[in-house]
Structure 1
Amino acid sequence: MHGYDLLVVGSANADLVVGVDRRPAAGETVLGSDLAIHPGGKGANQAAAAARLGARTTLLARVGDDAYGRLLAQAQRTAGAETAGLLEGKDAPTGVALITVDSAGDNSIVVAQGANARLTPDDVAGARPLFEAAAVVSLQLEIPLETVAAAARTAAETSARVVLNPSPPAPLPEDVLALCDPLVVNEHEARRMLDQHAHDPGRHTPGGAQDGAASAEPQEPEEWATALLGIGPRSVVVTLGAEGALVAGPDGMTRVPSPRVEAVDTTGAGDAFTGALAMRLGRGDTLEQAVRYAVRVGSYTVTRAGAQESYPSAAELEKAVTAEATAR
């Protein structure tokens, strides 16, 4: 019996959001809405999503000794996550995402990494008891790559399953890719990872063929998944937005459709999907079972505004599933 279904290692940001009629051109000032401040960051989002669903969850992240850090810690506690791994320091402020959203719903984001950039392999080593207690470790790339690698390797040493979402996309060490079970990507991330791999002449496929000799660029999700499996991960999940997700592994590929919903806001939906997927794997689901659950969580999330505040509890999700079945 593990102490945690899920340990998330990643970023924690305060999201500062302003609505504008249009984004300013260079040198221009525009007036916006009142400033809204929300808890965010891919790591914090995933941990909050899993905890709200009832998972035993904790987050390893760094925040500053400031109001935003306290906001993020309280948001984790409110969601039901433990904060034993939330490290506070005076050497850097809490990470902040500056977000403008125009009248068409398009956004522009600038991230000041702050304390996220100070999460180190030494922090991972110091948190080893959390890894030893976790069934699954979930990672993203909004923290230093060396820290991601240290976390993946520590997870392997402690027999925890590794779930990794390469966002924002960056080349991963081959031994880290080989631990991913699954690698979770959307269309953009799949294309970027394959392009990065193909243009790195020092890398080779597990079978020994150099990636520079790859054939035509994959165009379909099944082709992306096949190509991604070829660069090393044990399994791959490709998220397809309103179309659901594709599961790919040693036993073949399966498309998992998404319930039809009216989307209001897609902010943080990918994090909710990954958090739900990881926690269900931690509960003992097969990968396909976990993806089927995560697709429902993601589809529910987009029907409400915001990121963490849109994430469902287990009871809310069950109510939505029951309503859907009754409507058929």
Structure 2
Amino acid sequence: MKPKANIVVVGSINMDMVIQTPKLPVIGETVLGGNYTTVPGGKGANQAVAASRLGAHVVMFGCLGQDPFGRQLLEHLQMEGIVTDPISVLEEYPSGMAFIPVTDTGDNCIVVSPGANMQLTPAHIAQGEDLIKNADVLMVQLEIPIETVKAALTTAKKHNVVTILNPAPAKALSAEIYELTDIITPNETEGMLLAAGDVRQALSPEQIIAGLQRLGVGKALLTRGGDGVAYQTEDGIGFVPACKVEVVDTTAAGDSFNAGLAVGLAEKLSFPDAVRFAVKVSALAVTKPGAQPSLPFRKDVDEFTCIL
């Protein structure tokens, strides 16, 4: 029997406003869209829910506003079986929100209003150190203050907990952040920005991963959408192709991948096997609309045959 994964997620919790649109607008353009829905989201919460649905014991650190969205989001996380004790509810700040147009082919873009997410501080991490100490894997992203990301990574490393940094939205990071990161998981755009400082500079997966290695991370992994995943191996670069599925909505594809990777590693899979497991998880996530509603359950992943 596989050991139960023990995951701590430190990150954002948002309410997503998702609107169907025939195309993504360009600068200055107004596009007439279709229906919209409100869906629980936020990179941190997405990863927490995804890991919980994959069978992990999940603890989440975050901040919400004391507003209707905040109450809905907290109740939703609790219904998903996530330990929410480290989540603070604040009177002075609204809950985070994201505005997401999605095309018929599943493409999207996202604008985030962080709200209470930016009030998650290193003090919150210090108060919950015992929870982090007992984890197998710590997951962080960049929709919260960078000093809090650093505090979480520092605490995890202090207790020999595996750290995964999903550097989204991408921004300049200190050498110390990279050195505290066991595994970094950018997409191609984020990887180019971090490795070269310029998304207009075309780099191969090998060049991006080599650039991330030079920054001091333990291992670099690059998600490439329909082209699968490139990842660092002892001998060079390994590739896992994407599963062939009908894409409905790519929202939370990256978050589901990160959760799958974390759960796989916590269950003591080898790194390549954990990557392959994560690819299956993300493939299922893009076959349904919405962020958290699309996240697959473990039974579905175990029964899914990845068609390559």
Q: State the TM-score, normalized to the length of structure 1.
A: 0.85
SS in 2 for 1:254: strand
Q: 1:258 to 1:45 in 2, by over 3 A?
A: same
Q: CA RMSD in A?
A: 2.5
| Structural mapping, 1:226-305, within 5 Å | 226-305=210-289
1:25 and 1:236 mapped to 2: Cα distance? 32
Does structure 2 conserve the Cα–Cα contact (< 8 Å) formed by 1:218 and 1:227? no
Question: What stretches of structure 2 of length at least 5 have no aligned partner?
Answer: none
Does the 8 Å CA contact 2:106/2:248 hold for their aligned counterparts? Answer: no
Native 8 Å contact 1:149 1:173 kept in 2: no
Distance 1:119 1:29, change over 3 A: same
The 5 Å alignment of 1:309-320 reads 309-320=293-304
Letter in 1 for 2:220: V
Partner of 1:307: 291
- Kindly state the Cα deviation for residue 85 of structure 1 after the two structures are TM-superposed: 2.0
Given that 2:284 and 2:296 are in contact with CA atoms closer than 8 Å, whether structure 1 keeps it comes out as yes
Which residue in the other structure is 1:204 paired with?
none
The AA in structure 2 aligned to 1:191 is: M
Give me the whole-angstrom Cα distance separating, in 1, the residues matched to 2:241 and 2:26. Answer: 40
- Deviation string, structure 1 residues 129-157 (Cα, Å, up to 9, x no partner): 21112111001000011111111111111
Instruction: Please name the residue that 2:203 is paired with.
Output: 219
User: Which amino acid is the alignment partner of residue 67 of structure 1?
Assistant: P
The residue that corresponds to 2:129 in the other structure is 128
Following superposition, the deviation at residue 21 of structure 1 comes to 5.3
- Please give the per-residue CA displacement for 1:257-304, whole angstroms capped at 9, x wherever unaligned: 222112111111000000111122122222211111000101111111
SS at match of 1:134: coil
CA distance in 2, matches of 1:236, 1:119: 27
Given that 1:4 and 1:58 are in contact with CA atoms closer than 8 Å, whether structure 2 keeps it comes out as no
Relative to structure 1, the CA distance from residue 23 to residue 269 in structure 2 (aligned partners, 3 Å threshold; closer, same or farther) is closer
- Separation in structure 2 between the aligned mates of residue 26 and residue 240 of structure 1, nearest angstrom: 25
Structure 2 CA distance for aligned equivalents of residues 47 and 57 of structure 1: 6
CA distance in 1 between counterparts of 2:293 and 2:106 reads 18
Q: Deviations over 1:7-54 (max 9, x none)?
A: 010100001123345678999987654441100000000001010011
Aligned residue number for residue 167 of structure 2: 166
Q: Among the aligned pairs, what percent are the same residue?
A: 38
Aligned counterparts of 1:149 and 1:85: Cα–Cα separation in 2: 17
Partner of 2:143, secondary structure, is coil
Q: Equivalent residues in 2 for 1:1-328 (5 A)?
A: 5-20=6-21, 32-101=33-102, 107-196=108-197, 219-321=203-305
Distance 1:25 1:281 in 2: 40
Aligned length: 304
CA 1:218 to 1:227, structure 2 compared with 1: closer, same or farther past 3 Å? Answer: farther
Sort the Cα spacing of 1:303 and 1:121 in 2 relative to 1 into closer, same or farther, 3 A: same
- Equivalent residue letter for 1:268: A
**Cα distance in structure 1, aligned partners of 2:109 and 2:233:** 35
Q: Separation in 2 of the partners of 1:76 and 1:160?
A: 23
Once residues 32 and 236 of structure 1 are traced to their aligned partners in structure 2, the CA distance between those partners, rounded to angstroms, is: 38
Where 1:47 maps in the other structure, the secondary structure is: helix
For CA contacts below 8 A with separation 6 or more, give which structure has more relative contact order.
2
Residue 158 of structure 1, CA deviation:
1.8
Q: 1:222 aligns to what SS in structure 2?
A: helix
TM-score (normalised: structure 2): 0.90
For 1:179 and 1:194, how far apart are their aligned partners in 2? 17
After superposition, the Cα gap between the structure-2 partners of 1:22 and 1:170, relative to the gap in structure 1 and judged at 3 Å, is closer
CA distance in 1, matches of 2:104, 2:11: 31
Report how far residue 5 of structure 1 moved. 1.5
Structure-2 change in CA distance of 1:24 and 1:233 (3 Å): closer
The 3 A distance-change label for structure 1 pair 255 and 20 is closer
